[in-house]
Every structure is written in structure tokens, then in C-alpha cells.
Amino acid sequence: MGNHLLNTSHPYAPQTSQSSSLRDNNSAGDLPEPVLPWLKSESRQSLRSQSSSVDTSGLHTVKRNAITSAQQGTKKKRWTKHKWWMLLSNTLLFCYGLGTLLLAFLTFFKFYLRADVMVVGERTIVNLILATGAICLFTSIVGYVGIMLNNRAILTFYNLLLWPSFGMIAAIGYTAYRRNKWNLEGKLSYQWHYDLTADGRARVQANLHCCGYKSFTDYHERSNKCFPRTLLPGCKFKYQNFTREALTITWIVAFSMIPIHLFVLFSALLCSNHINRKFGKGLPPKLYRLDYQGIVAGTPTGSSVVLHTAGLQQRHQ
């Protein structure tokens, strides 16, 4: 009886053939076969034959593709040459915009010797310089935002702002050139006698160390240095020489900035649409767009016709 119980195979007892196959699999470096006590020996044989006939090349392919996609995700994206070129041109705009704005502030706050004469005598040109510097600096900041964010809508607004900047630079040059070339002496004489206030004439006299326009008796403003027996000359010669020199430098610098600004403008026009590697609006070509007529619905209710009609309506919108 005891021998009969020992010889009877228990359904949960491990099989010797299975143990040998486990050792063979482990020696070959594969994963061990799982113990499935609820299956009969015939079922185990059929399961083993099925597992041996499975082609695992697809698994390796999926794994390889997954690694490749992960590597592509961690790959550093490089800037395009158009983005570098646009960054360089926008930096030029930032530099001369900041310089122009600083020059206007230095003039208004009298940080150089003849600044007060410029504020009194050439107030229009100083205001134009201030406005030009502010517009160019603001435009360059908008450009930096659009370049760093790869935002083509912001870059479109940036391209529009470059045109008022161009107009302001040209206005400075034209105003200074026109004032300097045509009858500057008559313009300054009319300005001294009719346009300048008493405070303006006093400030010019104090800065240029003169008294009156031609002499003491010609529209002078009394001060501790300007009186009837003063030795100071009239302001006509000094005022004309300074104004002519300042206007000449102004229109030369302004007209010299125009080619630089045109370089910035055309660089922005040509490179804004290539700020990244995205083509156009990111839409697929017409050849690869979805054709609603080829979609067949899986229901017998005629929904494919409805879907086709909706697709055509959406396409024609």
C-alpha cells in the first residue's frame, strides 16, 4: 500500500523531465520555464512546442526602436543658421538703438559741455533722436523674444516695427541736412530774435560765454557777465559754428546708419520664416492629407455617407 502511494504520481509533484529541461534552459542562458501543475503532460508539450516556434525577432526590433527613439528624444537640438544670422542682426539693432537712446538722455541731462545749447537750439532733432532710440530698442527686445521662443507671430510684429525705425532714422538725417544746407545763418538769426525765450537766450549766453547776438545791444539777456561794458563778444559766430558742426555730424551719422538698418530689415524678412526647422504652418502636403471618401464606417446605418458629407463640408470651409 505504501509502495503504491509512493509510485502514484501526484498532480502537484515536480516532474523529472521538467527539472531536466529547466536545467538545460538555465545552462543555455534562457529564462526558466514556468511550472504549470494544472496542465497535463500533453498540454505542456504542446505549449513548449508553441513557445519554441514563436519568432522573437520582432521583440528585439521593438526594443531597438524604443532605444533609438529615446536617444532621439535626448538629442540636443541645434539652432539653424538663419536663427544665428537673425540673432546677429538683431544684436546690431540693439546696440545702435541703445546708443541712440543713451545719447538723447546724456543731452537732456547735460552730461557734456554743449548739451544745453543743443537742447535749446535743436530741440526737434534731440526729440527725434530720443524717439528713434526708444523705438529701435523696443523693436530689438521684441526680436529677441521672437527669436528665443521661435514664435513667428512675434517675428511678424518685429518686421513691422523695423519700418517705423527706418523712417525715424531717415527723418533725423533729412532734418539735420536740410537745416544745415539752406540758409543756416538766417535761420539762427530768426530763432534768436523771435523763437527763443529769455531763458533760452540766457542759457546759450552762459554756455558759449557770449553776450547778445551780434553785440551787447542785440537782444541780450542781462547777467553777472553780460552788462553794457562787458568784454564778451556776441553769440553769432560761436552759435553758428557750433550748430553747423553739430548738424553735420548728425546727418552723416544718421545716413550712415541707414545701410546697417537695411541689413537688419532684410535679414529679418528673409530669416523669420526659417527660425526653426518647421516648414510653413506644419500642415502635411496635400498628397498625404486624409481623404474622407476612403473612410468606411463599421456600422450598417449609413454613417459613412454622413462622415463623407461632413468631411467635404469641412474641406470646403
Q: Could you tell me if 144 and 150 are in contact, meaning their C-beta atoms sit under 8 angstroms apart?
A: no
As a dihedral over the C-alpha atoms of residue 68, residue 73, residue 79, residue 83, rounded to 10 degrees, the angle is 120
Angle between helices 236-271 and 81-108 (to 10 degrees): 160
**What nine digits make up the cell of 269?**
524678412
Q: What average pLDDT values come out for the chain (317 residues) when binned by 10 residues?
A: 46 49 50 56 58 49 47 65 92 96 95 92 95 96 93 93 96 95 91 91 92 84 82 91 95 96 94 77 64 50 52 58
d(CA 279, CA 257) in angstroms, rounded, equals 33
* pLDDT of 266: 95
Angle between helices 81-108 and 152-181 (to 10 degrees): 40
Q: What is the torsional sign of CA 262, 264, 270, 273?
A: negative
Q: 13: closest CA among 37, 40, 38?
A: 37
* pLDDT of 63: 45
Q: Which residue in this structure is represented by grid cell 446605418?
A: 301
User: Which amino acid is present at 268?
Assistant: A
* pLDDT of 274: 83
**Helices first, then strands: H and E counts in the chain:** 12, 0
Q: 275: closest CA among 136, 96, 153?
A: 153
Which residues are within 8 A (CB) of 268 and not within 5 positions of it... i.e. 6 or more apart? 86, 89, 90, 143, 155, 158, 159, 162
Q: Could you tell me if 112 and 237 are in contact, meaning their C-beta atoms sit under 8 angstroms apart?
A: no
Name the pTM for this structure: 0.65
d(CA 114, CA 247) in angstroms, rounded, equals 13
Q: Could you tell me if 44 and 36 are in contact, meaning their C-beta atoms sit under 8 angstroms apart?
A: yes
Reported as a single tens digit per residue, the pLDDT across 168-226 is: 999 999 999 999 998 899 999 999 999 999 999 999 999 999 998 988 888 778 888 88
